[in-house]
Each structure stands twice: as structure tokens, then as C-alpha cells.
Amino acid sequence: MKAFFEQCEAAVLEGNKDLAVELARRVLAENMDVLAVLERGFSRGLRRAGEKWEAGEYFLPELAFSAEVMKAALDVLRPSLLRAAGTRAPGGRVVIGTVQGDIHDIGKSVVSTLLSAHGFDVLDLGANVTHERFIDAVRDHHADLLCMSALLTTTMTGQAHVVELLQKRGMRGDVKVLVGGVPTSEGWARQIRADAYAPDAVAAVEAAKGLLSRDDRKAG
């Protein structure tokens, strides 16, 4: 299985969309663990692409192409993710996105898909989301939970800025904040006064459940 994970990782890292789609279809045909393949294969390839970009080994087009390859694989696997999770009771309203300046969209998309599958009402803002757009979406969607992702150390500070804006607008007590992404950590979450950190999509769903089960969600 390790060799298969490595093939998935390499397909994303090398920008081989055809191979990524072929491998994703094999996952379904052979009833493999979809989440394991995503986390230990395809997602790892994208994380390494981000590391190479930060190290100056990749240029932005190469990083963007790796993300597109990852998206192609996710498109094949998404229906299986939804079926595996099944239909759950409504979990609360969630706003999710990748912070301003960051084109990374795939890890966030996996989290968004799993949250929807577990009964959460999810508004996915996509990538490169401005600080003000996060704030507007939290207000307009009456969000119980705000999830923010970052792939790069150069963009992760956007998570802190959004938390600060929530505080300044008097909205911080109305919404829980969950952060994630390659450069983030438990320590980072504490530093910016987020409510929780999740290292992967499965952990994000569990964190969301835990945060909202301890919180009286807004009616209506």
C-alpha cells in the first residue's frame, strides 16, 4: 500500500493529471480506503509541492498545476467520500475558505466535502479569500463555525488577521474558529486565539463536531 501512496504523491508532484485520475479510479475499483489515499498519497504530493514553492524549487505555475492534478483526483473520489459518510443530522452552519494570497484549494475542499457529508450546512468560499469576505460571509450566513486553511507560511498570518477582525467587529463570541493547513499547528491556533486546530480532514470534522456540541447554536 505504501508504494501506491507514493505513486499518488508523485502524480500530483509531477503534474501528471492522467495518472492521478487513473490511480483515483483504481482506488474505487479496488475498494481502497479513500481518506487514507487522499491524506497519505495525493494530499502529501500537494504539500510537498507547496514546500518546493517556498524553497524556490517550484514556480507558481508548477504549484498551481499540482493543485489542478489533485483536484482532478478529488473529483473522482468525492462521490465515494459522500457515500461513506452517509446522511447525518444537521451539524450547524459553516463558512470555509483558504486565506488571501493562497491558491491552495484542495485540502480545504476535502474538509468541505466531509463536513457537508456529516450534515453541516457549508458555505465554501474557495481560495484566496479576502479578510473582509470571511467576515461578511460569517455575518450573512449566520455561521456557527469559521474554518480557514493555509498552505504557505507567507499566507498563514491571514488567519490571525481574520480573528482580529472578528474581535474588532464584536463578532468573535458568535462564531467558533477552526484553522488548518501545512504550516499551522496547535501552538499557532493558541497564538492567534482560534478555538481549535485540525491537521487533516478527518480531524477537522471531529473538531467541528466537538466545538459545536459544546456551543448553543443560533436559531434560524
| Residue 112 within any structural domain of the chain | yes
Domain shared by 130 and 196, yes or no: yes
Strand duo 120-124 + 196-198: pairing: unpaired
Domain's final residue, options 51, 85, 119? 85
User: What is the 8-class DSSP label of residue 154?
Assistant: T
Higher pLDDT, 47 or 157: 157
Q: Based on the fold, state whether residues 158 and 198 are members of the same structural domain.
A: yes
Provide the CA 199 distance to its chain's centre, in angstroms: 10
- Based on the fold, state whether residues 204 and 126 are members of the same structural domain: yes
Q: How distant is the alpha carbon of residue 135 from its chain centre?
A: 18
pLDDT value at 81 more than 50:
yes
* CATH number (domain holding residue 24): 1.10.1240.10
Q: Which residue has the cell 450566513?
A: 141
- CA-closest candidate to residue 115, choices 133, 97, 137, 140: 97
Q: What is the pLDDT of residue 214?
A: 61
What pLDDT sits at residue 219? 41
* Cα–Cα distances in angstroms (integers) from residue 58 to residues 13, 50, 104, 141, in the given order: 10, 8, 14, 37
Query: Does one domain contain both 133 and 51?
Result: no
135 and 205 together in one domain? yes
Q: Answer whether 118's CB lies under 8 Å from 87's CB.
A: no
In a domain, 24, yes or no: yes
Q: Are residue 157 and residue 209 in the same domain, yes or no?
A: yes
Q: How many CB atoms lie within 10 A of CB 84?
A: 12
CA 151 vs CA 15, 44, 85, 93, 155: distances in Å: 18, 12, 26, 24, 7
- pLDDT score, position 44: 85
Task: Render pLDDT for 142-175 as a digit per residue (tens, 0 to 9).
Answer: 999 999 999 889 999 999 999 999 999 999 999 9
Same domain for 68 and 98: no
Please give the model's pTM, rounded to 2 decimal places: 0.72
Question: Is residue 110 pLDDT above 70, yes or no?
Answer: yes
The range of the structural domain enclosing residue 200 comes to 92-213
